Structures are given as C-alpha cells and as structure tokens.
Chains A and B, each alone.
Chain A
Amino acid sequence: MRECITYCCSSLVLWVLEVRLLLSLEPDAPAQLAGTVLGPLAPCTFLASKTHMLLVSGCANSQARSRIQRHGTEASALAASSTWAATSSTVFSCISGTPPRQGQNRRLNLSACSGSGGIGRGTPAGEEQILAEQQGSEKPPQASLIAMQPVKVYADRRSQPSRAVIIFCRVNQIDFEEVTVDLFKSQHLTPEFKKVNPMGQVPAIVDGRFKLFESHAILRYLASVFPRVADHWYPADLFTRAKIESILDWHHTNLRRGAATVVQHTALAPFLGLTTSPEAVEQAEKLLMQSLGVIESVWLKGDAKFLLGNPQPSIADLSLVCEIMQLEILGDEVRDRFLGAHEKILIWMDKVRKATSPHFEEANELLFQVKARMLQRKAAASNQAFEPSTKLKIASKL
C-alpha cells in the first residue's frame, strides 16, 4: 500500500510536469483535461497513464525517445495507448488497497478519460454497457468504472486464426464468449453471420457494438484494450512492436498463403470440391518451405526462444504457430517433410505451446480429431477402394 501511495505521489509530480507540457504544446489541451479530471479518480488514472508513458518512452530506444521528447505528446500518446488500460487498473487496485484481481480480465470503460481523440477513449459511442461490480472493495469511490459484457468471439476451432484468438483470450483471462460458426455446416454464409462479419469469415469479434474481423487486427485490439494482457504480447515499445508488425504483415502473403493453399489443395480438396492443379500445389509447397526457412533463419536465429529473440511470445508467435499447426491434418508424413528439417521451428513451437498451456492443447483438440477422422477415411478408402466420403461437406475453404 505504501508503495502504491509513493507511486501515486511521484506520479502526481510527473503528471504536473506533463500537464504543463500539454498546456504548452496542445492548443486544446485544457478541454482535454477538463474532460479528464472528472471524478476524484480520474486524475489518478490519467497521471498513471502519463507516468507509464514516460516509463515506456524511457525504456525505448534512445532515438525514439528523442523524437518523442521533441514533440512531447502525440507520439508518446501512441506508445502509451496500449498500456493505458493496464496502468489504470493497477492504480484502481492500489487505491482500493487490493492487488489486481486474479480472475477474469475485464475491459474497463475509461469514460472518465474520453477527452478529444488520443489517449483512452474507453468505449465506442453508444456501446451497450453494464454497470459492473457494484459491490466489494474493488469498486473505486465515485469512479465511472464500468465493466463490459463479455466479448463475443465467432470462431471455428478447425480454423487456425480462430484458434489463435481463442488461445489468446484464454491465456489472458479475457472475459469472452465463444460462438461456434461451423464452416462445415456453412454457418459462415448465413445472413446472421454476415451481419457480424460481412466477409463471411472466422474469426470475428463483437465487443459491445464494436465489430471487428481479421485475426491480426483482433489480436492487436484485444491486447490494447484489455487491462491485464502482458506487454510482451504486443509491446508498447515502438521498435519491438514494429518488428512484430512486419512479421504479421509478412505472414499473410507468405506462410499463410503457402500453408493454407497446401492444406486446401491436398487434405481438404475432396471435401471442398476443389479442382486442384499440380502447379498450384507445387507453388504453394515451395512458398511454404521458403517461409519456414525465413522464420528459422531470420527470426529464430541464434538460440532465440521466441521470434525476434524475444524472451516471451508475442501475438506473432501465436499466429504463426497456429498456422503451422494446421499442417497436422496433412498427416504425419507430409508434416514431417516440411517440419522435419526445421528443428528450430519445432523447438519454438513447443515453447509457444508450453507458454500457453493448457489452452493451446485444448484449442487444438478438434484439429487432432479432424486429423484422425481424415486418416480413417483415407485408410478406409484405400482398403475398400471407394471414394472419400462426402459426409464432411466443407462449404468453403478453411
């Protein structure tokens, strides 16, 4: 408790400095502050975020620091926006004298801080809200702290980006509700689901009235908006983050394109009614092999534990490993053809599994069931020389 008070006091000093900085640099800063200093707690959360911001920029590469300092607010606000929620939750618990809650990770409505643009707009306009936790010492006096409904995660666990989102939510104890969209039953093509994601793809999320698709964008969003997601998942440090962004972008047109095409054109083709061309398969195999080579030689070089030599996994580790896991349904032989020669990748995958255990294994259970069923069918087909069953009607690509 004493440490918390010290923390808050020193933060206050920093805050005053920051306010000065703001006033001197931003013409509409007073309005922003007026919107900020609403409840007795609001300034605390604000100062905490500012302090955190300074700490963040303090740790960052000196180049970024000087750039940030040159400008004072805008760039550092960016760096801080993702740590903002986390810091405020710490301060709330400090003030109420309780350690951060160990249970579910609930998004906080930082409505006290919804000043103009920038930092900490807590909730999209008009979003449904539930007044949360009215009881117990966690409720800060007079704070407009509002917890939200669980995030709805629309997913099919046979889909690799869906699994990445589910594992991320579980590991970070995000309060979410999984809504299964069965691709094999074409549920992604229903008008109801199109209202959630007009692209008709999983994963997609709905957070209050805020809808989002594309797994990477979802992971970034969840990491930024939920208070207790550890920084390593999506680091506030701009340089570390930029390198992770680069991998995420690369993923789309390299690893994913290679792996997903191989899976579609081989394992799934009979069920998808896809006419596969040997060239398409060959090209995809080449791209997949190249991509695995890049991961190993560029991002896992030396004895890197996780991508980029980071000591902890990021959303890029999770996303890429889930993609590679999909190769399981090609059968052990084909999988080993791709992964056998890449020992570092195998070790890294195991590290990611361990760091996210038991949620990783649990989310992959269905995949192994699909694999087993496919093997059975294959065996049956070759024994009795009949066509692969079309019971598994996959309406579209996984």
Chain B
Amino acid sequence: MQPVKVYADRRSQPSRAVIIFCRVNQIDFEEVTVDLFKSQHLTPEFKKVNPMGQVPAIVDGRFKLFESHAILRYLASVFPGVADHWYPADLFTRAKIESILDWHHTNLRRGAATLVQHTALAPFLGLTTSPEAVEQAEKLLMQSLGVIESLWLKGDAKFLLGNPQPSIADLSLVCEIMQLEILGDEVCDRFLGAHEKILIWMDNVRKTTSPHFEEAHELLFQVKARMLQSKAAASNQAFEPSTKLKIASKL
C-alpha cells in the first residue's frame, strides 16, 4: 500500500498532532509541507486535496480527509498497529473522549487560537485586533484550562479522564496548548503557571510520545525564537516588526 500523504505545516497545532500520532504509531506516511507563510494552502492544487484550504489534511489512496480530529479517528481505526488506548473501542470510554474532542473546538481551541492570532501573529497577519477580542479570548482560554484541570485531570490523573494511557484527545489538546509558546515565556506562564496539573499532564504526554513530540515541535520553538528576536530588534531600533514572515492567513 502507498503511504498516507499528510499535508501539514508544523507551525500549525493540529498538523503537529497528526504528525506525532503517525510517528508514534509507526504509520507509513509521507509528510507534504504546505507552507502557510507562503500561502501554499491557497493554491488550486491544495484546494483539490482540501477544498477548505486548511491543514492538516490527508490523502490515503483515493480517500481524502480534513479536520484533525476526524483524521486522528480515521488513522486510529484503519491502521492495525495503533494501540487501543488512542481511540478505545469501549463505547463508554470512547464517548467521553469524543465529548472532549467536541468541546475542544469551541472552547480551548477558540480561546487559544484567537489569542495567538490577535497577539503574536496579528502584525504578520495584518489583523486589526480589538482589545475586547483579546480579552474575550483570554477569558475563554483561562476557563478552558480550568475545566481541563478540574474536570478531566481531577485526582492524580496521568491522562485525561484518569486514563492510564493517552488518547487522541490528550494529544490534540496538548498540541493546542503548546502553541502558547509563541506568546513568549511570560505570557505562557501567566496562563499555565497556575495550572500545575496541566503542566504535569503535558509532560506525561510528551514523554509517552518522545522523541517525536519534541521533533515535531522544533519548528515552533524556532518561530518563537525568531519572534523574540524581531520583537527585541523592534523595541531596540524602533522599527516595525519584520514583515519577512508573511503569514497569509491564520495559523
């Protein structure tokens, strides 16, 4: 069988979740980089892969799929070597995981992604940000982190729902939270500092997916370093943030 094609940009959190999942589970895949900064997601060729023009997307033979959660479910179901804990066959455990995945879209993701867009990325996106949008996103993000900690990591849960092993929900949510790195350490700590359980859980997820987790996040840390540099340069020499990093659209 041909390897599955995974269209991704490692700067995108759902893209990383899919890549890490494939690596950890030794899925035979080929990573095709769709550079969002170069607007490659808007090309007609990529629109044939995913009409929504977003990453991640996969092509497995003639079968095309987008939306990272749907992709993770599919890969977990169709590939033989994927351990059950990633997407348990048990209907009750699975249903609880589905509930977290659905919740993710309108809570954690909406909070985190909006915040990242309206602060770190805004200058590169040419986004006009409103303080209200930022404030709302910060509130939603903080609330969401609180929910994860008090609801799904209660007691001394190693993984979400007290499961002994990670599921696709653990991976998806942790990749989302990792995106806060590009806000800089100070902001990151403001959100995560008060959530010790989340930090421990994130580390558990990292460890069980190591070294693929670290490898998939290398680019993110490079972006972070470059952003810090351009920030420093901007404040030192009082010029506009570099526009070298042209991000055509939202990460």
Q: Which A residues are within 8 Å of any B CB, using their own CB? A: 61, 63-64, 66-68, 70-71, 74-75, 77-79, 81-82, 117-119, 121, 124, 198-199, 210, 212-217, 220-221, 224-225, 238-239, 241-243, 245-246, 248-250, 252-253, 256-257, 277, 294, 297-298
With A67-B1, A245-B69 already in contact, 7 other A-B pairs whose C-beta atoms are closer than 8 Å: A67-B78, A67-B79, A198-B147, A217-B99, A239-B63, A243-B70, A249-B69
Interface residues of B in 62-120 (CB under 8 A from A): 63, 65-70, 73-74, 76-82, 84, 87-92, 94-96, 98-99, 101-103, 105-106, 109-110
Compute how far the CA of A198 lies from the CA of B100 in the bound complex, rounded to whole angstroms. 13
Is B233's beta carbon under 8 Å from chain A? no
Compute how far the CA of A247 lies from the CA of B77 in the bound complex, rounded to whole angstroms. 18
| Secondary structure of the A contact surface, majority rule | helix
B85 to chain A, nearest CB (A): 9
Interface residues of B in 104-150 (CB under 8 A from A): 105-106, 109-110, 132, 147
Compute how far the CA of A67 lies from the CA of B79 in the bound complex, rounded to whole angstroms. 7
Is B200's beta carbon under 8 Å from chain A? no
Quick check: A63 and B74 within 8 Å, CB to CB? no
Compute how far the CA of A354 lies from the CA of B91 in the bound complex, rounded to whole angstroms. 30
Quick check: B102 and A252 within 8 Å, CB to CB? yes
Quick check: B1 and A213 within 8 Å, CB to CB? no
Quick check: A74 and B92 within 8 Å, CB to CB? no
Quick check: A238 and B74 within 8 Å, CB to CB? yes
Is B215's beta carbon under 8 Å from chain A? no
> Binary interface profile of B, 23-53, with partner A (CB < 8 Å = 1, else 0)?
0000000000000000000000000000110
User: Given the interface contacts A66-B1, A252-B106, does A243 sit within 8 Å of B65 by beta carbon?
Assistant: yes
Nearest residue (CB) in B for A260 is B106
User: Given the interface contacts A63-B1, A67-B1, A117-B90, does A199 sit within 8 Å of B65 by beta carbon?
Assistant: no
Partner of B95, one of A117, A118, A221: A221
Is B151's beta carbon under 8 Å from chain A? yes
Partner of B63, one of A61, A71, A224, A297: A61
Partner of B80, one of A74, A220, A298: A74
Quick check: A221 and B91 within 8 Å, CB to CB? yes
A-B pairs, top 3 by smallest CB distance, nearest first, are A71-B80, A252-B105, A214-B102
Is B60's beta carbon under 8 Å from chain A? yes
Compute how far the CA of A64 lies from the CA of B132 in the bound complex, rounded to whole angstroms. 48
User: Given the interface contacts A121-B90, A242-B74, A245-B67, does A212 sit within 8 Å of B95 by beta carbon?
Assistant: yes
Nearest residue (CB) in B for A124 is B92
Q: Which B residues are within 8 Å of any A CB, using their own CB? A: 1, 51-52, 60-61, 63, 65-70, 73-74, 76-82, 84, 87-92, 94-96, 98-99, 101-103, 105-106, 109-110, 132, 147, 151
Compute how far the CA of A218 lies from the CA of B41 in the bound complex, rounded to whole angstroms. 33
Compute how far the CA of A246 lies from the CA of B147 in the bound complex, rounded to whole angstroms. 25
- The number of A-B residue pairs with CB atoms under 8 Å apart is 125
> Which residues on B sit within 8 Å (CB–CB) of A248?
70, 102
Quick check: B78 and A250 within 8 Å, CB to CB? no
A282 to chain B, nearest CB (A): 13
A314 to chain B, nearest CB (A): 13
Quick check: A245 and B151 within 8 Å, CB to CB? no
Quick check: A214 and B103 within 8 Å, CB to CB? yes
> Which residues on B sit within 8 Å (CB–CB) of A68?
78, 80
Quick check: A250 and B98 within 8 Å, CB to CB? no
> Which residues on B sit within 8 Å (CB–CB) of A224?
91, 94-95
Compute how far the CA of A69 lies from the CA of B79 in the bound complex, rounded to whole angstroms. 11
Q: Point out which of B61, B89, B96 has the most chain A C-beta atoms below 10 A from its C-beta.
A: B89
Quick check: A70 and B80 within 8 Å, CB to CB? yes
Quick check: A210 and B92 within 8 Å, CB to CB? yes
B59 to chain A, nearest CB (A): 12
Quick check: A81 and B89 within 8 Å, CB to CB? yes
> Which residues on A sit within 8 Å (CB–CB) of B106?
252-253, 256-257
Compute how far the CA of A256 lies from the CA of B105 in the bound complex, rounded to whole angstroms. 11
> Which residues on B sit within 8 Å (CB–CB) of A221?
91, 95, 98
Nearest residue (CB) in B for A254 is B52
> Which residues on A sit within 8 Å (CB–CB) of B70?
242-243, 245-246, 248-249
User: Given the interface contacts A75-B80, A239-B63, does A199 sit within 8 Å of B51 by beta carbon?
Assistant: no
Quick check: B99 and A245 within 8 Å, CB to CB? no
Quick check: B80 and A217 within 8 Å, CB to CB? no
Quick check: A220 and B98 within 8 Å, CB to CB? yes
A234 to chain B, nearest CB (A): 11
Quick check: B63 and A75 within 8 Å, CB to CB? no
> Which residues on B sit within 8 Å (CB–CB) of A256?
106
Compute how far the CA of A118 lies from the CA of B85 in the bound complex, rounded to whole angstroms. 10
Compute how far the CA of A81 lies from the CA of B101 in the bound complex, rounded to whole angstroms. 20
Compute how far the CA of A239 lies from the CA of B78 in the bound complex, rounded to whole angstroms. 9
Compute how far the CA of A41 lies from the CA of B89 in the bound complex, rounded to whole angstroms. 23
Quick check: B67 and A249 within 8 Å, CB to CB? yes
> Which residues on B sit within 8 Å (CB–CB) of A215?
102
B8 to chain A, nearest CB (A): 16
Nearest residue (CB) in B for A290 is B52
> Which residues on B sit within 8 Å (CB–CB) of A64?
78
B240 to chain A, nearest CB (A): 25
User: Given the interface contacts A198-B151, A221-B98, A246-B66, does A253 sit within 8 Å of B89 by beta carbon?
Assistant: no
> Which residues on A sit within 8 Å (CB–CB) of B74?
238, 242, 245
> Which residues on B sit within 8 Å (CB–CB) of A198?
147, 151
Quick check: B65 and A74 within 8 Å, CB to CB? no
Partner of B88, one of A70, A79, A117: A117
Quick check: A238 and B78 within 8 Å, CB to CB? yes
A116 to chain B, nearest CB (A): 10
A299 to chain B, nearest CB (A): 10
Q: Point out which of A117, A239, A241, A245 has the most chain B C-beta atoms below 10 A from its C-beta.
A: A245
Compute how far the CA of A249 lies from the CA of B172 in the bound complex, rounded to whole angstroms. 13
